[in-house]
A and B are shown apart, each in its own frame.
Chain A
Amino acid sequence: MKSSVLLLLLVAAAGGAILGGFFSYQSYIEPGERFGVLELKQPEGPARVESIVSAYNTGKQAQGVPKIEVDGGNTFNFGTMLRNASGKHQFVVRNVGTADLVLQVGGTTCKCTVGTLSEGKLAPGKSTTVDLAWDAKTETRTFSQSATLRTNDPSKFELPLIVEGDVVDLLAAEPAEWNLGEIATAAPLELTTRLYNYSTETVTIEKLSWTSESFGAGSEIVIEPLPLDPQADPAHASASQAFDVKIKVAGGLPQGVLSQTLRARYKTPTKDDFSPLEMKLTGLVVGDLSVMGNSKLTTDEYGNQLLKLGEIDRAAGTEETFYVSFRGPFRDQAQITLGAVTPSEGIEAELGEPSIRGAVKYIPVIIRTKKDAPPMDRLGGAGRETGMLTIQSDRDEVAPLQLRVVFKLTQGRGS
C-alpha cells in the first residue's frame, strides 16, 4: 500500500514537472523573443519553443542523458580588429552525453548572425558546428556579442556563444574626448592624447587642428612620434605606430558651454581619403567661483546660476546646503568670504570649512530663511526682484560670484 501511494505520488509529480516545465516555458517566451532581432537560419524552419521543451522533457525521461560541450570553450576572443570590419568564427559543439542532444538557436544580439546548424540533433559522440559572423560596428573599444543555443542537456538549458575582443579605428585617439566639467575661465587648459595606428601601413598625420579658427588661434598643438613598447604597454601591442599629442589652450575662455572639435587629417601610402579623426572637447566655462551640489541649483546657457527655493511657509522656513567651488590660479592663495545676502530680513547664509578635491577647492554654504522673516516675493521674472547672495575673495583677479536666490515666503497656515 505504501509503495503504491509512493509510486502514484512520483508519477503525479513527474507528470506535473513535465507539464509545469512545458507551460511555464511557453508562457515565458515573449513575442519577438525567439530570435532576437535577426531572423536566423534553421535547418527545419523557424524554431518552435514547444519542440525544444518537448525534447528537453523527453531527454529527462530517456535512458542516458545528453551533454553539450564546446571545443575550446564557449568564448572566442578575436583579439583586436578594425572598426566596421567583419569577422567569423566557427564553434564546434559536441554531444559528450549518452542520449541525443537537441540544439536550437535562441536569441542573438543584433551584431551576430548565426549560421545554419548543420544538424539539429546530435547523437552521442557526434559534433556539429555553429558559425557566428559579426560586424565590428560599435562606438566603443570593447566588443562583446553573443548568440544563445538552447539544448535539452539537463544541466545547460541555454548556452551562450560569446565573441569578444577590442575594436579599434585605423587611427584611434586615446582619449578621444576631454570632458572637463566646469573650467575656470582664467585657467589655461592642458590636454593630452595619443594617436595609435592599427594598420600595417605607415600613417602620416597631415593636419591636426581645431575646427573653430578662433579657438585654434589661442591653442598650441605639438605632435611627436611615440615609440611603442608592447611589453610596457600591452594594451596597444597591436598598434604599429603611435603619436603623442600635447595641447595648450590659453586662459580667458568666454563663460558658457565649451564644445570644440579637433580634427586629425591623415593618410597612408595607399589611401588618402579617410574621414578625419575627430576628438571632442566639452565643458562649462565658469568664473573661478561657482556653485554646485544641490538639485535646486540651475545654470543657464550663459553660465548664470540660480538657487530656486520655491514657495516656503515662513513659519516652517527652509535650509539648503550647497558648495562653492574655487578653481583657477588663485585657488590656494585667496580667502573666500560671504558678501551681501539680500534681502537680509528674509534670508541668511554661512560658510563652512574648505576642502580640496583635485584642482578644486570647495566650501559648503548653508542658506536658510530667517525665523522672523516677513512674507515676501523674490521669485523674479516680470520685473520682480530675486534674492541675491554674493561670494567674494580678497583677490581682485577673482570675480565675485553673485547667486540669485529665487523664493517666496508665504504667510502659511497657522502663521
Chain B
Amino acid sequence: MVIHSRRRFDFLSRWSVPLTLTLILVVGCGPGDKRDAASDAASDAAAQVPSPETTTPPRGAEVPPPAAEHDEADSAQEAIPIPAAAAAVPPAESQVGQADLPVPSGPPEHWRDWESPAAVLVVSGQQYGYIEPCGCTGLENQKGGLMRRGTLLKELRERGWEVVPLDAGNQIRRTGRQQGIKFQTAIKGLQQLDYETIGFGADDLRLGASELLSVAADDGENSSGFASANVELLAPDLIPRFRQLNRGGLQIGVTTALDPTTVLTQIDEAIVIGDLQSTLAETLAKMQQGGCTWKILLLFGSEEAAKKIAREVPGFDFIIAAATVGEPLYQAELVPGTSTRVIKTGDKGMYVGVIGLFPDGPPRYSRQPMDAQFEDAPEILKLMAEYQDQLRVLGLDGLQVQPLAHPSGGQFVGTAKCGECHTTAHAIWEGTPHAEATEDLVHPGERSEIARHFDPECLSCHVTGWNPQGYYPYTSGYLSLELTAAMTGNGCENCHGPGKEHVDAEESPEQWTAAQLQEIRERVTLPLEKARERCLECHDLDNSPDFHQEGAFERYWAEVEHSGVD
C-alpha cells in the first residue's frame, strides 16, 4: 500500500508487458486514489445502478487521474523503466517543437500474452468494400478480409474470453446494386460473427434509407447490431442510440457516430445526420445514467475529429476513429488534457484493434494485422460464395451494370482479330498472364472454390472492353463467356483503344487516303511514355503494389514488349 501511495496511478504506464509491469510495481507505480469528474460520475452511476452480474471493483478505480496531472509526456516516461539520466529530462522537453506528435509509450504488446481479461473488445471499421483482399498479387502479401477476422475472433473465443466485436462502419465504397448486395453480405457476416455494435460510414449512407433499414432496423427481438448517436434513418426510433452490454461482469456502453463532414455526396433526404457534439453528449449522459462503466465511441471520422470529440465531450474511455487510412499505431493514443484514448482503424480492414478489459487492472491494447496467419473462416468463405452466386444470378442487367459508349465512340473487335495482322505482338501477349486474365477468374488460383467471373469489380480488369476504374463495360465489350467469347483476357484494345475503325480501314484501304489511314493507325498507337498510365489503371496500388516500386514498369514492360505491325 505504501507503494501505491508514493506515486499516483498512471493509466498509460500500465500498458506494457507483464514483466515490465513487474518492475513498475516494484519502483512504485500502482493504482491511485484520484479520479476525474467523468470517472466519478461513471462510478457513481455504477454505484446507483448496480449490476447483479458485476463482480469487479467499481470502474472508478480503473480510470485515469485528473487530466491536469496526467500529461502525456510524463506518462510516456513512466511507461517503461528508464535510466536515471532519462528521468532527469524534464517531461515538457520532449514536446518541444513537436506539439503534433502522438506519444506512445514503450514496446507494443500482444493479446496472446494476456491472461484472463474480463472482456475483450475487437474494434474495426472502414472496410471500404474490401470484404476480402483482392489477392491479385497473392493473398499472403495482402492484409484484410472478413474471413480472417472470423478466425481471429474464433481464436479469441477459444481462450474462453468474453469477446465483444465492434465495427465503426463503412462496409462499401461505391454505389449501385452490387454495393447494396455487398453491404448486406458484409452485415450478414458481421452478424454471423456476433458483432455487438455496428455503425454507419459515409459510403454506407449512399445506399439510401430504405436499403439500409432492410438490414439495420432493430425489430424488437431481432437486433440488427446497429446503433448510432447521430444517424437517423427515416424515423428517430428505428436505430438505438447506443447499446449497453454486460460482458464479463462489466457494463460496457457502445455508441457510434458519423462526422457529417465525411459525407461528400448528395444522400437520401430520409437520412438525418445530427450534430456530433450535442448528440454524443446526450448519448454519453444516457450511458452514464444506465450505469455503463466503460464508454466506447465508434466514430466514422478522422483522428482529428476523434480528438476534438474527446476534448469537447469528455468521458469516453475509447474513441475508435474509422475514417482513417494507413497503419494504426501500436498504442492507443491518449488525447492530451483528457482521459480518452483514440485508436484509428486504418482502412480496408487491414488491421483490427484488440482492447483487453481486466477485472483487476487497467485496459491494454494490441494492434492486430489481418495477415495470412489467419486462415479463412469457413462460414464467411461460404458467405462469399453466396455473394458471388447472387451476382451470377442477377447478371450484369440485374446489377444495373449497363454498357456505355467508349469516349472515343469506337467499337471493340477482340484480341484475336488484332492478332491476324499483329502476329508477333499477339504471340507475346499469349505468353503473358494478360491472356489468362479471365480464366483466372473462372478458376482462381486462390480461394479456388469461388469463381469471380460474374463480379463487375473483378471483371473490369480481367476482360476486354471495360472501364477499369468505373467497373462497367463499354458498348461491344465483354458481357459473358457465352455472349462475348472474343473479349476474354485483358486484350490489346484495353490499352490501345477500340480497334474496329482501324480494322475496317485496313481491310478496305481503298476507301481511305494514305493520310487518313495513317491518322486512324495513330489513334490506336500507344507511345511507351503513355503506356504506363494505361497499365496503372489496373495495376493500381490496391491490386498490384509491386508495380509501384522503382523500376517496376521497366521490368514489367520487358515481359510484354511489342511494337509495330509484326
C-alpha spacing A31/B112, complex, angstroms: 15
Taking a contact as CB atoms under 8 Å apart, the answer to whether B268 and A32 are in contact is no
Q: A144 near B269 (CB under 8 angstroms)?
A: no
Q: Which of B82, B93, B210 contacts A181 (CB 8 A)?
A: B210
* A298→B19 contact, CB < 8 A: no
Closest Cβ–Cβ distance, residue A289 to chain B (whole Å): 13
**Quick one: which of A142-199 are within 8 Å of B by CB?**
142, 144-146, 148, 154-160, 162, 174-182, 191
Please judge, given known A-B contacts A181-B209, A294-B217, whether A70 and B371 are in contact too, CB under 8 Å. Answer: no
Q: Does B177 contact A (CB under 8 A)?
A: yes
A284-322 contacts to B, CB under 8 A, are 284, 290, 292-299, 301, 320-321
Number of interface residues of A (CB under 8 A): 111
- Cross-chain contact A157 with B106 (CB below 8 angstroms): yes
B420 CB contacts on chain A under 8 angstroms = none
Which among B83, B93, B270 has the greatest number of chain A C-beta atoms within 10 A?
Answer: B270
Q: What residues of B have a CB within 8 angstroms of the CB of A180 in the complex? A: 208, 266-268
Find A73's partner among B18, B80, B101 (CB 8 Å cutoff).
B101
User: Which among A19, A137, A211 is the interface contact of B541 at CB below 8 angstroms?
Assistant: A137
Binds A, one of B140-148, B378-386, B449-457: B140-148
B residues apposed to A, CB below 8 Å: 17-20, 22-23, 26, 73, 76-77, 79-83, 85-86, 89, 93-94, 96-110, 112-113, 140-143, 173, 175-177, 205-211, 213-217, 219, 222, 224, 232-235, 238, 264-272, 302, 324-327, 329-331, 346, 366, 368-369, 371-373, 394, 398, 400, 402, 404-405, 407, 470, 533, 536, 540-542, 545, 548-550
Q: Could you say which of A217-225, A335-343, A352-360, A370-378 contacts chain B? A: A352-360
Specify the main secondary structure of chain B where it touches its partner. Answer: loop
* Contact partners of B222 in chain A: CB under 8 A: 295
Q: Check if B113 sits within 8 Å of A24, measured CB to CB.
A: yes
Chain B proximity of A409: nearest CB distance (Å): 19
| Contact between chains at A160 and B208 (CB < 8 Å) | no
B175 close to A282 (CB less than 8 A): yes
- Bound CA span A28–B563, Å: 51
Give the interface of A toward B (CB within 8 A).
Answer: 9-10, 13-14, 16-17, 19-21, 24-25, 27-28, 30-33, 36-39, 53, 56, 60-65, 67, 69-75, 84, 96-99, 106-111, 113, 135, 137, 139-142, 144-146, 148, 154-160, 162, 174-182, 191, 211, 257, 259, 261, 263, 265, 275-276, 278, 280, 282-284, 290, 292-299, 301, 320-321, 323, 325, 355, 357-360, 362, 364
Residues of B within 8 A of A98 (CB): 85
Evaluate contact between A156 and B103: CB separation under 8 angstroms: yes
Consensus secondary structure, chain A interface: mixed
Q: Which of A38, A96, A292, A358 contacts B545 (CB 8 A)?
A: A38
Asked if A36 and B327 make an inter-chain contact with CB atoms under 8 angstroms apart, the answer reads yes
- For A261, give the chain B residue with the smallest CB separation: B404
Instruction: Evaluate contact between B143 and A32: CB separation under 8 angstroms.
Output: yes
Is B104 touching A62 in the complex (CB atoms < 8 A)? no
The answer on a CB contact under 8 Å between B173 and A32 is no
**A109 contacts across to B, CB distance below 8 A:** 325-327, 346
Rounded to whole Å, the gap between the CB of A78 and the closest CB of chain B is 15
The listed residue (B103, B235, B346) touching A323 by CB distance below 8 A is B235
A293 touches B81 (CB 8 A): no
- A147 CB to closest chain B CB (Å) equals 8
